[in-house]
Amino acid sequence: MMNASAQPLIRLEGLTKVFYTDEVETHALAGIHLELRQGEYVAIAGPSGCGKSTLLSLLGLLDSPTEGGYWLNEKPVAELSLAERTRIRNQEIGFIFQNFNLIGDLSVFENVELPLTYRGMAAAERRERVGEALDKVGMGHRAKHLPSQLSGGQQQRVAVARALVGRPLILLADEPTGNLDSKNGEAVMELLRELHQDGATVCMVTHDTRYAKHAERAIHLFDGRIVEETKAGEAVEVG
């Protein structure tokens, strides 16, 4: 999968994030260097509070770094306008959250439809794409249900459908199995692996080493720094 000659899909240089709360500075990320290539499946692992979610938020343009550079598809993200950032979140990034983050007042179908709606896609095409995505995650028969009428595992599958329906460049998943039992967790991991095999670029946060093994590459964070990188199971010391 890795192609050395191709430009990286994502490049981070010295990425730093500091949170300021009541005169307390929290250095959530301290100088992250990272490259993700098209078609890669990368896991981000590490103990609680080490900065995994923060990193994924920055990657997903949900937040901005305090310092450092972020190039998405060779474009410096810092120079993007608000509207451009919104467009990229809509078209190039699919986000999967630990707590699903489905909208409770919308049906399963409408939830999955949202990214396409915001893209201005015609209704007929939306219907077709949403149908495909729901079928892919095995939720086609629950299109009219509300999220509250589904189990946790089903909700997360809907969330996965929502993330992939827009055919984004990259899927970002923040502990997608965190709120699921092991059976449902396995099912969602299986889904991500299938998507990856179909060509999707996946970046997943997990602190569960079993799931990290699903990835081709695992990046280990500690205290806001990358301390270790492992490839397909074997451990490799960084720097």
Partner 1 sequence: METLWQDLRYGFRMLARNPGFTAVAVLTLALGIGANTAIFSVVNAVLLRPLPYEEPERLVMVWNELTKEGLPQLWFSEPELIDYRQRQQSFEGMAAFSGGGGNLTGRGEPLRVTAANVSANFFPLLRVDAFLGRTFTPEEDTPGNDRVIVLEHGFWQRRFGGDPAIIGETVSLSDNPNTVIGVMPSGFTFPDGTVDLWTPLAIDTADPNGRGSHYLRVLARLKSGVTFEQASADMHNIAKQMEQDYPDYYRPDRAWNTYLIPLHESEVGEVRSALLVLLGAVGFVLLIACTNVANLLLARAAVREKEVAIRAALGAGRLRIVRQLLTESVLLALLGGSGGLLLAMWGTDGLVLLSPAGLPRLNEIAVNEWVLGFTLLVSVIAGVLFGLVPALHASRPDLHNTLKEGGRSAAGAGHHRLRGLLVVSEVALTPPGVSSWRNCRPTRPTFRSVISRATTAIPLRATSGRWG
Ligand X SMILES: Nc1ncnc2c1ncn2[C@@H]1O[C@H](COP(=O)(O)OP(=O)(O)OP(=O)(O)O)[C@@H](O)[C@H]1O
Strand duo 67-72 + 75-76: pairing: antiparallel
Alpha-carbon gap, residue 19 to 134, rounded angstroms? 38
Residues that bind partner 1 (CB under 8 A): 53-54, 57, 60, 62-63, 82-83, 86-87, 89-91, 95, 97-99, 101-106, 114-115, 117-119, 123, 162, 178
Among 21, 104, 234, 239, binds ligand X (CB under 6 A): 21
Q: Which residue from 2, 25, 27 is spatially nearest to 15, judged by alpha carbons?
A: 27
Q: In what order do the strands lie in the sheet with 41-45?
A: 93-96, 170-174, 201-205, 41-45, 217-222, 225-231, 234-237
Pick one of ligand X, partner 1, Mg ion, none as the site partner of residue 91 (Cβ within 5 to 8 A by kind).
partner 1
When asked if residue 19 is in the footprint of ligand X (CB under 6 A), the reply is yes
Q: Which is nearer to ligand X, 31 or 49 (CB)?
A: 49
Q: Quote the Cα angle for 91-163-141, to 5°.
A: 130
Pick one of ligand X, Mg ion, partner 1, none as the site partner of residue 50 (Cβ within 5 to 8 A by kind).
ligand X
Answer yes or no: are the C-beta atoms of 89 and 60 closer than 8 Å: yes
Q: Which of residues 44-63 bind Mg ion (CB under 5 A)?
A: 53
* C-alpha dihedral, 61 to 66 to 68 to 71, nearest 10°: 10
* AA identity, residue 16: T
Alpha-carbon gap, residue 134 to 62, rounded angstroms? 25
When asked if residue 204 is in the footprint of ligand X (CB under 6 A), the reply is no
Tell me the Cα Rg of the chain. 18
Number of residues in contact with ligand X, rule: CB under 6 A?
12
**Binding track, positions 199-238, relative to Mg ion; x by CB under 5 A:** ----------------------------------------
Q: Which of residues 34-93 bind ligand X (CB under 6 A)?
A: 48-54
Pick one of ligand X, partner 1, Mg ion, none as the site partner of residue 51 (Cβ within 5 to 8 A by kind).
ligand X
Chain CA centroid to CA 65, Å = 17
Nearest distance, CB of residue 25 and ligand X, angstroms: 9
Q: Which is nearer to ligand X, 26 or 179 (CB)?
A: 26
Q: Which is nearer to partner 1, 63 or 216 (CB)?
A: 63
Kindly list the residues in this chain that would bind Mg ion in the complex (CB under 5 A). 53
The residue ranges that bind ligand X (CB under 6 A) are 19, 21, 26, 28, 48-54, 207
